[in-house]
Amino acid sequence: MSGLRPLDGIVVADFSRVLAGPLSTMTLADLGATVIKVERPESGDDTRSWGPPYSATGATYFESVNRNKQSITLDLRDEDDKVIARELAATADILVENFLTGGMDKLGLGYEELSQLNPELIYVSVTGYGSKAGAKIPGYDFIVQALGGLMSITGEADADPMKAGVALVDVLTAKDATISILAALQNRQNTGRGAHIEVNLLSSLQGALANQGQAYLGAGKIAGRMGNAHPSIVPYQLLNCAGGSVAVACGNDGQFAKLCAELSVDELAADPRFATNNQRVENRKELIPLLEAALAADTAQSWQRRLTAVGVPAGKVANIAQGLEFSASLGLEPTIQVVDGDGTVTGEQIRHPATWTPALDSPRQAPPKLGEHNAQVRHWLSAQVNASAESRS
């Protein structure tokens, strides 16, 4: 290991809970930042009790986004604890919070007040619907998927709208928050000033609509549900075969010709109805049954192997365990082992997805127990405050 930790020395005060904020701060921690998670006494982050499932050490939901952090419990209604919270904010490089708009201000922990104490502070507010007309609306991923349009394009055409199988909007918002934080750190290096960054679930969802969003803005086309089919590419969907289905993605006419050759239906590639992607989109209802009739001769596993070998992207539908196994077979090392303070392995987690050269020395500390670092953080803060006072005298 090279010892490379890009955010070494950066301190993050994490006042967020549940998913979007904690995932962003865990990403910063994976990159070397010191993340101090502020939690309510006794109960802590809501997700500590979100189960089942539970691992041997706690709720797997909480553990998924809180490794490499230190936990301190503070009652933000208590004046003494608020002093500690302010000291932490005054010392930190970054503060992340997801209170309802105005909630941190009422506690004396809003951006305007804290930026007076710490002009270099990068203050990140994560909300559901922004700080204007939607400020008082609680942000829940499921509801945002409904209101923001994602659910309307997810699911089968003749069935109910569906949410994604994970809290995707929270994850997208965490990515947007992290990107903004890293940009703000660079900007601070250039200007010497911090910033107040606002991210919200609704905007992150709509920023991720990509081609579907632009289809409406540019062409007036409001997308609907198409199951696993693609609105602009054919075939690009699950196709039935012997004993199941296989995902096939022909991104160009050459791949379609290779598909037809491997299926022994070369005539389809020359058929005027299907020769180009535009024609295949127009005539998908006629094409798909013809392809599925040929695919019925073999299994999904076999078609995955055969089509991949001739340059046609294809794959059987795997569950999460099979997906991780496949990733490992490619040498992607999708998981890491995390350890407690004594160095004892406590479990396995999905690793930070990027691979660095030279190698990133990402910490592997297990998610903290509630208040595990109370004494340690308080001692460190006291030293920081004393050092700051001495420098001013």
Angle formed at CA 93 by CA 92 and CA 96, multiple of 5 degrees: 80
Within a domain: 283: yes
For residue 74, with 0-12 CB atoms within 10 Å meaning exposed, 13-18 middle and 19 or more buried, which class applies? buried
| Mean pLDDT of all residues in 143-147 | 98
| Mean pLDDT of all residues in 214-219 | 97
Count other C-beta atoms under 10 Å from residue 127's C-beta. Answer: 26
Does an H or E element contain 198, and which? Answer: strand 195-200
Q: How far apart are CA 131 and CA 120, in angstroms?
A: 22
Q: Note the pLDDT of residue 42.
A: 96
Q: Note the pLDDT of residue 306.
A: 98
Q: Note the pLDDT of residue 74.
A: 98
User: Which CA distances in Å does 204 have to 13, 42, 200, 201?
Assistant: 23, 33, 6, 5
Q: Do 37 and 152 belong together in one domain?
A: yes
What would the pLDDT profile of 194-209 be if each residue is shown by its tens digit? 999 999 999 999 999 9
What would the pLDDT profile of 93-105 be if each residue is shown by its tens digit? 999 999 999 999 9
Locate 62 and state its tokens. 């909480």
> Where in the sequence is the domain holding 103, given as residue range(s)?
11-208+341-392
Within a domain: 49: yes
| Mean pLDDT of all residues in 114-139 | 96
Q: Do 31 and 109 belong together in one domain?
A: yes
Within a domain: 351: yes
Contact residues for 106 (Cβ-Cβ < 8 A; gap 6+): none
Q: Do 193 and 246 belong together in one domain?
A: no
The answer to whether 222 touches 216, Cβ cutoff 8 Å, is: yes
Q: How far apart are CA 125 and CA 121, in angstroms?
A: 13
Q: Do 381 and 275 belong together in one domain?
A: no
| Mean pLDDT of all residues in 229-248 | 96
Domain at 308, CATH number: 3.30.1540.10
Q: How far apart are CA 225 and CA 156, in angstroms?
A: 6
pLDDT tier at 1, thresholds 50, 70, 90: very low
User: Residue 70 above 90 pLDDT?
Assistant: yes
Within a domain: 220: no
User: Residue 322 above 90 pLDDT?
Assistant: yes
Of the residues 280, 301, 317, which one is the last residue of a structural domain? 317
Q: Do 263 and 174 belong together in one domain?
A: no
Q: Do 80 and 191 belong together in one domain?
A: yes
Within a domain: 223: no
Does an H or E element contain 245, and which? Answer: strand 244-249
Residues with catalytic roles = 170
Give pTM, 2 decimals: 0.94
Q: Do 298 and 364 belong together in one domain?
A: no
- Number of domains into which the chain is organized: 2
Percent of all residues in the chain with a pLDDT value above 90, rounded to a whole number: 96
Residue with tokens 């953080």: 377
Mean pLDDT of the chain: 96
Contact residues for 320 (Cβ-Cβ < 8 A; gap 6+): none
User: Residue 3 above 80 pLDDT?
Assistant: no
User: Which CA distances in Å does 9 have to 35, 94, 166?
Assistant: 10, 12, 33
Q: For residue 338, what are the β-bridge partners?
A: 347
Within a domain: 3: no
Q: Note the pLDDT of residue 302.
A: 97
The answer to whether 70 touches 378, Cβ cutoff 8 Å, is: no
Q: Do 240 and 388 belong together in one domain?
A: no
Q: Do 137 and 92 belong together in one domain?
A: yes
User: For residue 98, which amino acid is it?
Assistant: N
What would the pLDDT profile of 25-36 be if each residue is shown by its tens digit? 999 999 999 999
Beta strands in 260-358 (DSSP E): 314-316, 335-339, 345-350
DSSP state of 59: B
| Mean pLDDT of all residues in 322-335 | 97
Q: Note the pLDDT of residue 393.
A: 62
User: Residue 2 above 60 pLDDT?
Assistant: no
Within a domain: 252: yes
Q: How far apart are CA 304 and CA 302, in angstroms?
A: 5
Q: For residue 372, what are the β-bridge partners?
A: none
User: Which CA distances in Å does 30 have to 67, 217, 226, 379?
Assistant: 8, 38, 38, 24
User: Residue 129 above 50 pLDDT?
Assistant: yes
User: Residue 316 above 90 pLDDT?
Assistant: yes
Residue with tokens 């797997």: 60
Parallel, antiparallel, or unpaired for β 69-73 and 34-39? parallel
Q: Do 286 and 364 belong together in one domain?
A: no
Q: Do 27 and 76 belong together in one domain?
A: yes
User: Residue 173 above 70 pLDDT?
Assistant: yes
Closest Cα to residue 380, out of 87, 43, 55, 22?
87
What's the number of CA atoms in the CB half-sphere (13 Å) around residue 335?
15
| Mean pLDDT of all residues in 275-303 | 98
Domain at 100, CATH number: 3.40.50.10540
Closest Cα to residue 310, out of 270, 279, 264, 275?
264
Within a domain: 225: no
What would the pLDDT profile of 269-280 be if each residue is shown by its tens digit? 999 999 999 999
Q: Do 370 and 288 belong together in one domain?
A: no
